[in-house]
Amino acid sequence: MKRSYSRLSVFLIFFILASGSLQAGDQDDYYTGLKKGWQYMQMVYERLNQQYVDDLNPYPLIRAGINGMLGELDPYTVFLEEDGQRRLRIMTTGKYGGLGMEIGLRNKKITVIAPISNSPAKKIGIQAGDIIDKIDGKATAGKGVDQVSKELRGEIGTDVTLTILRPGLNEAMDLTLTRAEIVLEDVGYSGFIAPGTAYLNLNSFTDKAVGEVVKVIQNLQKEQEIKAFILDLRGNPGGLLDAAVNIVNLFVPKDQLVVYTKGFREKEYKFFTTQEPLLPDVPLAVLVDGGSASASEIVAGALQDLDRAVIVGEDTFGKGLVQKVFTLDKHRNVKLKMTTAKYYIPSGRCIQKKDYGRNNEVIARDSLQKNDNGIHKFYTQHKREVLDKGGIYPDVNVSGDTLSYVLMQLIRKSMIFDFAVDYHNHYPGWKDNPVFADSIMEKFKHFISTANFKYECACSKDIERIKKYIQKKHYSEHIQNLLSELEQSLNSELNKEFDQDKEQIAEFLYLDMIEKYFNRKERDRISLQKDKQALKAIDVVRNIGEYRRILALK
């Protein structure tokens, strides 16, 4: 049955549905353009309401229009109904059912910011920078971050298959993961990784992060004097702004500007340290990578701008947009989470990468000019030059290790994990002398052969397609034999790859075994011994001359 709607509701519906369709160049006068848009919306909806082939349910149509309108903006401005609000509570509750990874939008693609420690995503080998192309065979293209997050979460114990695109690999990877309860632990491994050099891995910024960090530092100080400190923010996707400011406050004096926010129509807000610092003078290094985002970038960026820490590692993610939540319908608990401002650190740099607003006709050109999408020079407290390219760029660049193709397959098919479990069951005494002997690698080779593990080269899918085509066309036996020979030759090459990557495979095997025999923190402690970025950070904070030179200290 066709329904009639008031002129106001019709205008509202199609202001939503068609807001992105007007050409920015035609909007010489804002109000003239707005009036024209309302008229078009009314005409389109009335025509649909009168003559569309099926009866229309207005609410899903309006909701689709809202999501379409917001989809023209940044990935964090979203319409939240009751189901969608669980994500807002995660940073304070610290628990949810899912895969354990923070995602964002990079170059209009759903990208992994960082997998969470000890999560299904981390265990199967998902890395920062991986692109989630499909979820259970359905493309993520055109979907927002919140919509994809909702699809990734679900009942504990249920499976989901992700199609992953990884920079540097030609072929997509299909990974099947089982959802688990994800518990966000703020502090990971902490301890002394060199005489007098303390290390702390901070995984997230919840409301309890600062208290946990303070407690760890106090306990370390009881153990021995802290002469240098390394704060590891790699893979930390962020969290609460107040927690970030308070973490900075552990290292810098009271009344120091840490971050400020401003927007096109939003009042500027400044956030200062309020307490005396816990570690005001010790040499400090901060480890970052592409998985460091949001609050992590505030901490790293502020400490860099204040010349309080040397930043070591790789470029950060570049997530610096500020959201506010507006209640639209308090009875139905419907809200709008909207980006209203951007984060700026003490030098004046904006953290946000400047890619979401370009080539977008919805954002007015004069607005882009006011926000200035150019790259400019800024200066730290000691007049060191820094750029506002979005994200934080390290003072000392050190690339992290990348997983080989063969190792990725071994992880993806649970061979590493399963072997560690099996070895633990058969050789419980290894704990007394945890040395990785050559015999363990031989046992591992035997294990994967009996498990019918089969290497797949990057062109395996292409070969399967050719096989099917040959069978369909009834090609000669000679052609089929040539293809079989090609497969055998490729498998032989893959066996060579295993031998070439033997050292990296052995390292991952050893770490997994350490985790099974001891615990996760012991694995983290041992892994730092061969961590190139961590080792460089140790060198930086222990070489006072180099440390002072980098920070331009007198």
Give the model confidence (pLDDT) of 210-249 as tens digits.
Answer: 999 999 999 999 999 999 999 999 999 898 899 999 999 9
Rounded Cα distance, 393 and 111, in Å: 19
> Looking at residue 37, what is its pLDDT?
76
Higher pLDDT, 463 or 186: 186
Beta pairing class for 284-288 and 228-232: parallel
Query: What is the per-residue pLDDT for 374?
Result: 61
* Residue 71: partners with Cβ closer than 8 Å, 6 or more residues away: 142, 144
Higher pLDDT, 302 or 321: 302
Tell me where in the chain the CATH 2.30.42.10 domain(s) lie: 95-183
pLDDT at 337 over 70: yes
Predicted confidence (pLDDT) at residue 65 exceeds the cutoff of 70: yes
- Residues with catalytic annotation? 294, 305, 319
What is the C-alpha to C-alpha distance for residues 518 and 399, in angstroms, rounded to an integer? 29
Phi, psi of 552 (to 5 degrees): 55, 40
Q: Hey, which residues does 112 pair with through a beta bridge?
A: 103
β-strands 377-379, 197-202: how paired?
unpaired
Name the nearest CA neighbour of 484 among 496, 472, 469, 467. 467
Q: Which of 26-30, 349-353, 427-431, 463-467 is least confident?
A: 26-30
Q: Is 383 left (phi over 0), alpha (psi -120 to 50) or beta?
A: left
Residues 6+ apart with CB under 8 A from 107: 355
The predicted-structure confidence for 401-443, as pLDDT tens digits, reads as follows: 888 888 888 887 778 888 988 898 889 899 999 999 999 999 9
End-to-end CA distance of the chain: 80
Question: Rounded to whole angstroms, how far apart are CA atoms 215 and 335?
Answer: 37
Whether residue 353 is predicted with pLDDT greater than 80 in this model: the reply is yes
Q: What is the pLDDT of residue 112?
A: 86
Calculate the CA dihedral of residues 402, 407, 413, 415 and round it to 10 degrees: -130
The CATH topology of domain 95-183 is Pdz3 Domain (2.30.42)
pLDDT attached to residue 14: 47
- Nearest by Cα to 409 from 193, 209, 171: 171
Across the chain, what does the average pLDDT equal? 84
Give the DSSP letter of residue 428. Answer: G
Question: Residue 135 pairs with which residues in a beta bridge?
Answer: 138, 162
CATH number for the domain formed by residue range(s) 187-320+370-397: 3.90.226.10
Main-chain phi, psi angles of 310, to 5 degrees: -90, 125
Give the three-state DSSP class for 368.
helix
pLDDT at position 529 is 94
The residue type of 158 is T
CA distance linking residue 318 with residue 129, whole number of Å? 12
Helix H segments across 142-208? 145-152
Residues 81-103: what's their mean pLDDT? 63
**Closest by Cα among 336, 296, 303, 304 to 320:** 296
Is residue 283 a contact partner of residue 358, using CB atoms and an 8 Å limit?
A: no
Q: What is the mean pLDDT of residues 464-483?
A: 81
Distance CA 310, CA 273 (A): 20
Tell me what pLDDT residue 372 has: 52
Q: DSSP per residue over 30-49, as a string?
A: HHHHHHHHHHHHHHHHHHHH
Cα 276 to chain centroid, rounded: 32
What residue spans in the chain does CATH classification 3.90.226.10 cover?
187-320+370-397
* Percentage of the chain lying above the pLDDT 90 cut: 45
Helix (H) or strand (E) holding 484: helix 477-500
